[in-house]
Structure 1
Amino acid sequence: MTSRIRVLLVDDQELIRLGFRLVLDAEPDLEVVGEAADGEAAIEACRRLLPDVVLMDIRMPRLDGVAATARIVAEQPRSRVLVLTTFDLDEYVLGALRAGASGFLLKDAQRQELVSAIHAVHRGDATLAPSVTRRLLDTLVEHPAAPSPPGPDPADALTDRERDVYRAIARGRTNAEIAAELYLGESTVKTHVGRVLAKLGARDRVHAVIIAHRHGHVPPDARGSAPED
């Protein structure tokens, strides 16, 4: 039997945590292993429980979700963080993604959206709320992250085909869209995506998009859907 995905719930509102627990405990392959009411408690819980996926609120007392995400990713790189927000583009969401979150969803997401998102980040993909993907990429284009320190461009290690896939990832294309653009099978695309992420040292597709922006590899038509495949 496949082991269940271990989930940590982090939110300062007890009723919200209870609601998510009721949803997730009903899934046969998900297990809520703990809860935390603020960022400091989340970091400590991650150290003790080693969850596979952390559902992380943004605005919390003591330590917010952005700072908590950065520390969790640094200390527990195998734990994936999925940010949950009430707002369609909370000003902290981009910071959380840059801190290492594997994506975000709105708190009013449908049950299946939440479950699918947990599965996606657990397998190393990224997920972003569909209603805000265009605005997120617009923000990345208009307000890029600080340039990376001088040194070799990680994309230099990519083959020509991997570079094509990398550019498509940077434009927010899904695996199916990349397959159609490059006339490849989806299984082949998945293989290329895995190699690209490994060579870039990227945690997931969101991280790859940020790396692409930092190194100026994003084509002019980058604005569109964000990575969620």
Structure 2
Amino acid sequence: MIRIFLVDDHTIVREGLRAALVSEPTLEVVGEAGNGQELLDQLPSTPTDVVMLDLNMPVLDGLATTRRLQEEYPTLRILVLSMIHHERNIGQLLDAGAHGYVLKNVAKDEIVAAIHAVASGRQFLCSEIGLHMLRKVLNQSSAAPDGSIKKPNDLSNREREVLQLIAEGLTTNEIAEKLFTSKRTIETHRQNIIEKTQVKNTAALIKHAMEQGLINKA
């Protein structure tokens, strides 16, 4: 049995993770915390094998918590679960001692696979991150020496889903409720979409998305 401690400042995210993992006979959620400090306060009395850790949290964030865990609990396995997929952030977490990095929009099966991988002593990157990095390497290798190729419409499935709902006129709160996630997660998706499409506002984003066939026009 792998004992898991969930750390995320959004209660709804922790509840969703617990509900997803409760049916797995090899996994047991032994604790929850809203930030890294709460985790450190509980660990002495809560035997744990794998900590599932968000990156952006108040009081003590994921990076600082990872460093503390590496110092104080070196045998504990750390799996980061975040919406942030920038290489710099991922590299910082892995350098600090994290053993895996998974995006929050992955399927349950991939989260379970990630838990088993890090618990068994291996490292794990979710498939979306791995493919993103591979595409970037391939693009850089084929780009001109003075720059890299950027594909502004290279959106993930969840980003396309969020984009469609934005085009339908839903607010951030409404999208979060519809997709059973947090407002901050949707805001992160929105920012990623704007960066990838290189537009300046929502109106321009919708116009661009329709021109590129990224959303349904119905």
The two structures share one fold, judged by TM-score above 0.5: yes
Q: Aligned Cα RMSD in Å?
A: 2.1
57, 62, 65: which one aligns with 1:68: 65
Shift of 1:14: 0.0
Superposed CA deviations along residues 115-163 of structure 1, whole A, max 9, x for unmatched, are 1110000000111022222665879xxxxxxxxxxxxxxxxxxxxxxxx
- The residue type equivalent to 2:36 in the other structure is G
* Aligned residue in 2 for 1:88: 85
- Bigger Rg, which one: 2
Shift of 1:31: 0.4
Alignment of 1:199-218 (within 5 A): none
Say how many residue pairs are matched. Answer: 137
- The residue type equivalent to 2:68 in the other structure is R
- The residue type equivalent to 1:94 in the other structure is G
User: Which 4+ residue blocks in structure 1 deviate beyond 4 angstroms?
Assistant: 134-139
Between 1 and 2, higher relative CO (CA 8 Å, sep ≥ 6) is seen in 1
29, 39, 42: which one aligns with 1:42: 39
* Aligned residue in 1 for 2:48: 51
* Counterpart-to-counterpart distance in 2, 1:69 and 1:7: 15
What is the TM-score normalised by the length of structure 1? Answer: 0.56
Structure 2 spans left out of the alignment, 5+ residues:
138-218
Shift of 1:80: 0.3
- The residue type equivalent to 1:49 in the other structure is T
Instruction: Name the SS for the 1:33 alignment partner.
Output: strand
Give % identity.
40
Shift of 1:11: 0.2
- The residue type equivalent to 1:119 in the other structure is H
* Aligned residue in 2 for 1:97: 94
Shift of 1:47: 2.6
- The residue type equivalent to 1:113 in the other structure is E
Structure 1 spans left out of the alignment, 5+ residues:
140-229
Superposed CA deviations along residues 50-98 of structure 1, whole A, max 9, x for unmatched, are 3100000000001110010111122112210000111333743221111
